[in-house]
Chains A and B, each alone.
Chain A
Amino acid sequence: MDKTVIKIKDITKIYKLGDIEVPALCGVTFKVKKGEVISIMGPSGSGKSTLMNIIGCLDRLTSGEYILDNEDVSNLDDDQLAQIRNQKVGFVFQNFNLLSRSTALANVELPLRYAGITENRIEMAQKALESVGLGDRIHHKPPELSGGQQQRVAIARALINNPAIILADEPTGNLDSRSGDEIMELLLGLNKDYGTTLIIVTHDPKIAARTARTIQIFDGLIKESKS
């Protein structure tokens, strides 16, 4: 079996603002093996989020080839991409992106509902929340939780469908250093315990130092180190 989860070849992403073309990625090629932990670093505006959105099938690439978990996802339609995001990708955002009117449990359960799963959803969501250490907060709504706890809910939500990869775009960016550390421990622990493939965008060299591999991006081009 092929151990490669992500195979990206020469992809570009060009934003069009009226007549002006803004190149955000200018030919990026790399592979990610199953179970790897990768950090992505680079100056602001270098294209990190753009790359993450493409890896997560949230956005379409302008040219190039992308194979995710042995499936060519370069030319899928909107609903097929939605299904890929649901099944193969778990997102952790800098600003958590939880539904503020729903409980932690309902937030974590949501991907199961979009997956069309009808049975044991509550139990599965509860287990996921327990695994991120929030077993006693399942009925709290996001405004009733601390930043670190909200990010744990988001991680539980990202885990719930057993995705091939978890993408975290500056997951500690909105947290103080202590809860930031706890979140990093949690993410790295998932990799250690379950072999989850992790890609983390960060500005913090200390976090990058804890990952086995770091990809540097400058102006839409990558330069690997530690690989």
Chain B
Amino acid sequence: MNFLQTVNEAWNSLYSNKMRSILTTLGIVIGVAAVIAMIAIGTGAQDTILNQISGIGTNLLFIFEGNEEDSSITVSPLTMQDANAIGDVFAAPHVELVAPVIQGSGTIKFSGETKSTQIFGVTPSFQAVRNYELIEGEFISEENVNGRASVVLIGVDVAEQLFGQSENLVGETVTIDGQPFRIIGILAPKGGGQFGSQDNVVLVPITTARSRLMTREQGKVDIIYLKAISADSVPEATSEVQEILRKRHRTDLGEDDFTIYSQQDFLTLASSITNVFKIFLSGIAGISLLVGGIGIMNIMLVSVTERTKEIGLRKAIGAKKKDILIQFLTESSLLSMMGGILGIILGWIISALVGSFATTQGVAFQPQVDLGAILLATVFSTAVGLFFGIYPANKAANLEPVEALRHE
């Protein structure tokens, strides 16, 4: 029998039971929409996260104390002297800038308003290393550092919370953990990140932070940020830093007591985490597709029972098993394929809605519906229809003609 005619006949049969067909399809529609939306949202989230990490700067390196593979070794902490040694252009020609940092958290107050925030104790080079721009004012200077000045730069989130504005604030005095600080600048917004807002921060001179806000041993720092002269020179910069620190920490022979991460390490880590997240979401969506398939099987079984007499008649006038099998499989695949198409459209709409909702919430996040997901959903939903149609179609094909004809 001709393929188009078979499809046409299946269509007519489904059409003659419109309401039932639509309700049956619903299971597949929801399943496919879930798959499409989940993959789109997962991909969008992944892109956003990776972009944010890349946005930190592609030639950035981070040095932490300790060795994540071996926690038993004795660790000598990173110090300002380490940072200065790395900053030596002769010992580390591929390192452009070094920014030692101590970090913690605290509460910042201004006339009754308070905000919990991240506090970074930094040096002037931090601005260039992290690409901070200022709305107004100036960054922390050498003099501020040397004089342990009680000055602070605040992020826009902090400014909005305390003052309800993010301009004309230079010169105001706020208190951090009870100590007065004078505002010398406002940081331009960097947008939200997966590690919390990057705008809910305050920057103070590293020396001030150590002596007034956080207790640290003399000279100790938490992280050393450094910028290689280019993205390509990250490996050279890494080995130069390793050499310097091994010498200074006398770990030439044993294990390193520090760890260097590059931008790339974070990218790799983040994409493997987001991949797991995507697979997890798709798995849940896949289960709903399975449930949709069982719905199709159920309705096809009802349909076979209802049409027993018709099957008997078709056999009486010469239909072979194969003909009946194809007839019912075509119906079930058509049913689920249409569900798949509707599901793709619905999934697309859901993704777009999530995207625009995220935008209104100030999160730069665009779900990505890609062709691969659409193809996968179409093929998979049709396959679900075929698979779950096999049992009912087989049942129909194996009916005895006389028995079937006698059926009422």
Contacts and interface: CB of A to CB of B under 8 A. Distances in A.
Max chain A Cβ within 10 angstroms of own Cβ: one of B5, B16, B317? B317
Interface string B11-38: 0110010000000000000000000000
A97 interface: yes
Contacts of B402: 53, 58-59
A82 B13 contact: no
Give the contact-size bracket for chain B.
20 to 34
Given A53-B402, A59-B402, A114-B1, A101 B12 contact: yes
B213 to A, nearest CB: 82
B5 A110 contact: no
B12 to A, nearest CB: 7
Interface residues of A, number: 26
B169 interface: no
A78 B12 contact: no
A85 B316 contact: yes
Interface string A51-79: 00100101100000000000000000011
A99 B310 contact: yes
Contacts of B170: none
Contacts of A114: 1, 314, 317-320, 323
Contacts of B309: 97
Contacts of B2: 113, 118
Given A58-B401, A114-B1, A91 B318 contact: no
A197 interface: no
Contact of B317 (A78, A101, A157): A157
A86 interface: yes
Contact of B318 (A86, A93, A99, A101): A86
B90 to A, nearest CB: 87
Interface in B365-408: 401-402, 405
Given A97-B309, A101-B12, A113-B1, A82 B318 contact: yes
A148 interface: no
Interface string B313-338: 11111111111000000000000000
Contacts of A116: 1
B318 A87 contact: yes
Contacts of B401: 58-59
Contacts, number: 60
A93 to B, nearest CB: 8
A85 B320 contact: no
A17 to B, nearest CB: 13
A97 B1 contact: no
B355 to A, nearest CB: 44
A115 B401 CA distance: 17
A47 interface: no
Interface in B280-338: 309-310, 313-323
A85 B317 contact: yes
Contacts of B319: 82, 114
A97 B405 contact: yes
Contacts of B16: 101
B318 A115 contact: yes
B316 A97 contact: yes
A56 to B, nearest CB: 8
A111 interface: yes
Nearest to B313: A97
B316 A58 contact: yes
A44 interface: no
Interface of B: 1-2, 5, 12-13, 16, 309-310, 313-323, 401-402, 405
* Smallest CB-CB A-B distances: 4 pairs: A86-B318, A114-B318, A82-B320, A97-B313
Interface of A: 53, 56, 58-59, 78-79, 82-83, 85-87, 91, 93, 97, 99, 101-102, 110-111, 113-116, 118, 157, 161
Given A86-B317, A110-B317, A114-B320, 5 more contacts: A97-B313, A111-B318, A113-B2, A114-B323, A157-B317
23 contacts: A56-B316, A58-B315, A78-B320, A79-B320, A82-B315, A82-B318, A82-B319, A82-B321, A83-B318, A85-B316, A86-B318, A87-B318, A97-B316, A101-B12, A101-B13, A102-B12, A110-B314, A111-B317, A114-B314, A114-B318, A115-B318, A116-B1, A161-B318
